[in-house]
Amino acid sequence: MQVRQFTGATIDEVLPKIREELGEDALILQTKRVVRGGIGGFFGREGIEVTAAEGPSHEELATLNAEAAAPVPAAAEEDEPPFARALAARLQAAAEAEAGLPAPAEAGPGTYAPPRGAPAPFAAGGDERTQAIAAAARAAVREAADRAADPLAAARAAVRPAVAGRSAATVPAPGGFAPGLPAGPTPAPAEPAPAPPATPAAARLPAALRGVRAELAAAGIHPRYLDPMLTAVARQALPFAGEGEDPREVVREWLSEHLPVARDARPRGKGHTVVLVGQTGVGKSTTAVKLAARHRDAGQEVALVAAGPGPHDTLRALAARQGIEVVDAPDAAALAAAREALAARDLVVVDTAGRSHLCLEEMEALRDLLGPARAEEVHLVVPVAVPLDDVGDMARRFRMAGVNRVTMTKLDETGHHGNLVNVPMRLGKPLAYLADGAGVPGALVPARARRIAGRLLAG
| Nearest-angstrom CA–CA distance, 186 and 379 | 61
Domain endpoint, select from 258, 283, 301:
258
Do 250 and 295 share a structural domain?
A: no
Let me know if residue 267 belongs to a domain.
no
Do 391 and 319 share a structural domain?
A: yes
What was the pLDDT predicted at 348? 96
Do 279 and 247 share a structural domain?
A: no
Strand 443-446 and strand 431-436: the pairing is antiparallel
Band the pLDDT of 181: cuts 50, 70, 90: very low
Residue 115: pLDDT over 60: no
For residue 418, what is the domain's CATH number?
Answer: 3.40.50.300
Do 136 and 251 share a structural domain?
A: no
Range from 11-20, 206-215, 371-380 carrying the lowest mean pLDDT: 11-20
Do 375 and 312 share a structural domain?
A: yes
| Nearest-angstrom CA–CA distance, 404 and 206 | 36
Range from 171-185, 304-318, 424-438 carrying the lowest mean pLDDT: 171-185
What was the pLDDT predicted at 252? 92
Do 452 and 323 share a structural domain?
A: yes
Q: Which residues of 35-53 are buried (b: 16+ CB within 10 A; e: fewer)?
A: eeeeeebbbbebbbebebe
Three-class SS of residue 407?
strand
Do 445 and 316 share a structural domain?
A: yes
Residue 29: pLDDT over 50: yes
Range from 5-14, 31-40, 233-242 carrying the lowest mean pLDDT: 31-40
Do 345 and 224 share a structural domain?
A: no
Range from 170-174, 231-235, 397-401, 425-429 carrying the lowest mean pLDDT: 170-174
Let me know if residue 420 belongs to a domain.
yes
Band the pLDDT of 113: cuts 50, 70, 90: very low
| Nearest-angstrom CA–CA distance, 122 and 128 | 5
What was the pLDDT predicted at 97? 54
Domain endpoint, select from 115, 144, 173:
144
Do 220 and 309 share a structural domain?
A: no
Strand 431-436 and strand 326-329: the pairing is unpaired
- The total number of residues written for the chain in this structure: 459
| Nearest-angstrom CA–CA distance, 109 and 82 | 11
The domain containing residue 343 runs over which residues?
272-456
Do 426 and 295 share a structural domain?
A: yes
Query: Could you tell me what percent of the chain has a pLDDT over 70?
Result: 65
Let me know if residue 179 belongs to a domain.
no
| Nearest-angstrom CA–CA distance, 11 and 6 | 10
Let me know if residue 409 belongs to a domain.
yes
Let me know if residue 436 belongs to a domain.
yes
Coarse DSSP helix, strand, coil percentages of the chain, rounded to the nearest 5 percent: 45, 15, 40
Mean pLDDT value of segment 129-149: 61
The answer to whether residues 197 and 226 touch, using CB atoms and an 8 Å cutoff, is no
The answer to whether residues 369 and 403 touch, using CB atoms and an 8 Å cutoff, is no
pLDDT in tens, 303-361: 999 999 888 999 999 999 999 999 999 999 999 999 999 999 999 999 999 999 889 99
What was the pLDDT predicted at 7? 86
Mean pLDDT value of segment 265-291: 91
Q: What value, to the nearest 5°, has the Cα angle with vertex 442 and ends 438 and 447?
A: 100
Range from 43-57, 396-410, 421-435, 437-451 carrying the lowest mean pLDDT: 43-57
Residue 121: pLDDT over 50: no
Let me know if residue 74 belongs to a domain.
yes
What was the pLDDT predicted at 158? 46
Band the pLDDT of 292: cuts 50, 70, 90: very high
What was the pLDDT predicted at 336? 94
Do 244 and 344 share a structural domain?
A: no
Band the pLDDT of 159: cuts 50, 70, 90: very low
| Nearest-angstrom CA–CA distance, 14 and 16 | 6
Mean pLDDT value of segment 355-377: 92
Residue 371: pLDDT over 70: yes
Nearest to 444 by CA among 276, 254, 320, 326: 276
What was the pLDDT predicted at 144? 62
What was the pLDDT predicted at 131? 62
Domain endpoint, select from 110, 144, 178:
144
Residue 232: pLDDT over 80: yes
Three-class SS of residue 350?
strand
What was the pLDDT predicted at 46? 75
Residue 237: pLDDT over 70: yes
Let me know if residue 98 belongs to a domain.
yes
Considering the entire predicted model, what is its pTM? 0.59
Let me know if residue 226 belongs to a domain.
yes
What was the pLDDT predicted at 300? 94
Query: Mean pLDDT in the chain?
Result: 76
Number of structural domains found in the chain: 3
Mean pLDDT value of segment 26-55: 72
Do 414 and 307 share a structural domain?
A: yes
Three-class SS of residue 171?
coil
